[in-house]
Structure formats: C-alpha cells, structure tokens
Amino acid sequence: MNFQNPVFIPGPTNMPEVIRQACSMPTIDHRSPVFGKILHPCLEGVRRVLKSATAQIFIFPSTGTGGWETALTNTLSVGDRVLAARNGMFSHRWIDMCQRHGLQVQIVETAWGEGISAARYEEILRADTGHKIKVVLATHNETATGVLSDIAAVRRAMDAAGHPAMLFVDGVSSIGSVDFRMDDWGVDVAVTGSQKGFMLPAGLAIVGFSTKAMKAVETAGLPRTFFDVRDMAKGYAANAFPYTPPVGLMNGLKTALEMLEAEGLENVFARHHRIAEGVRRAVDAWGLRLCAVSPEVYSNTVSAICTPEGFNATDIVTVAARDYDMAFGVGLGEVAGKLFRIGHLGSLTDAMMLSGLGVAEMVMVDLGLDIKLGSGVAAAQAYYRHGAKAERVAA
C-alpha cells in the first residue's frame, strides 16, 4: 500500500502529521503533574465538542466498543430492559453486547438504510406504563449504511411519552464531525472513539455521562473493573488513571481538540457537509444510489453506495487496493457485497476527496460498470468550486 495516498474508509481516518508527532512523544512519569497538563485539557475539550456544560468525561484505553460496554456496565443490572433499533451492523453489535450481559432487549427491527423511528419509540414507551425500560439506545450515525438518525427527535419522543428511561447514543462516527448536542438532546451517555472525527489511531474509548447516568452508577449491578467510571474519576482527581494511561494517544487527543477548535466546530461540520454533498452528486452522476433511503438521513461522514444487482461490490474495494493503492470500505452484514463505502470524515479536504472519486471511477470502469470516466468527478468539482473559500469568508 502506498502510504502517500489518503484512505477513504469510515475509520480509522487520515491522521494529520502534527497529530502523529504529538502521539510520538518521550516517556513521562504518568504519575507526575505533567500528565495532568495533558489529561484535563482532553476532558474539557471533549466536553465542549459534546456541547455539554455538565457531562463527566471518561477516556479509556479501548475503542468505541469499549465505550458501549462502559455505558452498559456502569448503569445497568442483569435483567434490565433496553429498547433499541437494529438498522445496521453497529446497532446490531451493541444489541448483541446487551444480550451477552444478560439484559433484555426490545428490538425495533428497521430496514438497513432507514433511520431510527422516533414515532415507534414513542409508541413503545407509552405502552411501558410500568417503566420497565431503563435505557433507550440510539446509533446516531450507522457506519454500515451511511444513515444519520435524528437524536433530537428520539428525545422528543421520550419526553412526549413521559418516560424516565435514560438515552444512550453511539456517536462513534459522528462526534467531532457532525453536530452533537448532548445537553440539548438530553443524552445521558454519549459514546465515541479516537479513530474517526478525532483523527487519531484507534485506542481510546471516549464517553460522556450525564448527572442522571452518574446517579445510576451507584445502583448498577453489572460487573465492571477496567471500565469502572468511579475508579477513573478518582484517578482524574489525582491527575492520573487507575492504571497506566495511554499517554501518547492522550497527547494526540489534546492536539486534535486544539485543531478542531481552531478551525471552529461549526466550520468542521460545514466542511464535512460540503465534502459529503460532493460525493452524493458524484454518485448521482454515476447513475448509482445510496443505501440511505432519503436526504433526511444522509450521513455527512460516510456514503454507502449500492451497485447494480448481481455485481459484487466488494470487488471495487479489492481492485482499488490492489491496482491503485487506495482504500475504500466494504459492505458489512446484510449489505455485504451489495455496496461499497466511501468514508469522508476527519482530516479531509475537497481536493483529497476528488482523488478518491477519481480512483473509484477508474475501478468501476475497469470492472465493467456502465460509468463514464470523469462524470462523478466533474459533478463534485462543479459543487466544490470556490466552495471552501466562500464558506470561510462567510464565517
């Protein structure tokens, strides 16, 4: 693989050189005050990215999957009931984790390509007059299908039903790339990871707990040791972890947060929308369609592109890597072989995206699809022309 080429997988994302250098730092005494100068800016910066004034932030040496487990084991007990929609591979995996922990999951089966039905959630919650449902799970951005669900609508449904359940949100492929409003949306646990919007290698699970979630920690009965937020909070108070922290990754996160805030979060979100819209126009020019069923649920971080029936979409990813040293994402689960994915999040520009679209076109032509070379690139170029400059001036 040619490491000079950017990657277009939905994560891990491209890593800016300044972040790579920040991760590559000399050994320090992680029990000295020096570590506190890395730790606390990370906690405060993540809280700002989540747009929360009160959330307690916890950062574990793990991945987003570890963040899911942190949310569940710190707040629930065996036999507790959870409500969740299954509309893609990652929502499916969180449901599977719940079941492995002995939780009862009421599953709202949802077509892959559709977003979470807030109306269906409200109906179920209204019927739960005994308030047996303790947590509502929501995958903000379903990475497997390129679908962004409306978390504000889920919160409105919960409030309309007058239900006291907590709201847990998987924001692994959204937080840091698209707008996330933990306080405004009444999110009780927000989960993300280091390798997507934060432009770092995989290795950090990043979670935010509301005051309500922290109260649940004291009565939760599920076992937890490594992921116990009480131990982590005690460590933070002493500028430390309860075990050896991943200092280099934490220093990289500190730098990533500085970069995001220097660009301005709203500018970051606008950049992701602009790049994603260029991809969507390319897809339309190719005569293909997205897995996401309507513009209301289009993701600004990943596009899942369906190929014609009978064509193995995985071949696009294989040939792109073999012949052009460029990485795209394969279809997962129910959509394996039916689509390929273009990740457009993290450290990415219009010009970088054009290179990915150009290679995707060459590969599809190589494989015999009825695609005209330059068609998608031209459609994206027409949209991108002067767009970034105009947005910066407007900002």
Place of tokens 């994402």: 329
380 and 294 in a common domain? yes
CA distances (Å), 181 to each of 12, 26, 169, in order? 23, 36, 11
Q: Give the CB-side neighbour count of residue 198, counting CA atoms within 13 A.
A: 31
From first to last of its 395 residues, the chain has per-residue pLDDT tens of: 667 899 999 999 999 999 999 999 999 889 888 999 999 999 999 999 999 999 999 999 999 999 999 999 999 999 999 999 999 999 999 999 999 999 999 999 999 999 999 999 999 999 999 999 999 999 999 999 999 999 999 999 999 999 999 999 999 999 999 999 999 999 999 999 999 999 999 999 999 999 999 999 999 999 999 999 999 999 999 999 999 999 999 999 999 999 999 999 999 999 999 999 999 999 999 999 999 999 999 999 999 999 999 999 999 999 999 999 999 999 999 999 999 999 999 999 999 999 999 999 999 999 999 999 999 999 999 999 976 555 554 44
Residue 1: the pLDDT is 62
Residue-range definition of the domain harbouring residue 349: 265-394
225 and 78 in a common domain? yes
* Residue 5 in domain: no
Cβ atoms of residues 311 and 369 within 8 Å: yes
DSSP string, 149-180: --HHHHHHHHHHTT---EEEEE-TTTBTTB--
257 and 269 in a common domain? no
296 and 245 in a common domain? no
| CATH at residue 30 | 3.40.640.10
278 and 148 in a common domain? no
Tell me which of 212, 243, 261 is where a domain ends. Answer: 261
* Residue 183 in domain: yes
* Residue 349 in domain: yes
Residue 393: the pLDDT is 44
| CATH at residue 307 | 3.90.1150.10
Tell me which of 227, 261, 295 is where a domain ends. Answer: 261
Q: How many domains does the chain have?
A: 2
Q: How far apart are CA 378 and CA 220, in angstroms?
A: 55
Q: Are strands 189-193 and 204-209 parallel, antiparallel or unpaired?
A: antiparallel
Compute the CA torsion angle 16, 17, 22, 24 (nearest 10 deg): 120
Q: How far apart are CA 36 and CA 241, in angstroms?
A: 10
342 and 330 in a common domain? yes
Residue 78 three-state SS: coil
Predicted TM-score (pTM) of the model is 0.95
165 and 144 in a common domain? yes
Residue 31: the pLDDT is 87
Residue 141 three-state SS: strand
* Residue 239 in domain: yes
214 and 116 in a common domain? yes
202 and 246 in a common domain? yes
* Residue 6 in domain: no
* Residue 11 in domain: no
Tokens (6 digits) for 93: 């995996």
First to last CA, the chain: 38
* Residue 7 in domain: no
274 and 254 in a common domain? no
Tell me which of 228, 261, 294 is where a domain ends. Answer: 261
Cβ atoms of residues 91 and 270 within 8 Å: no
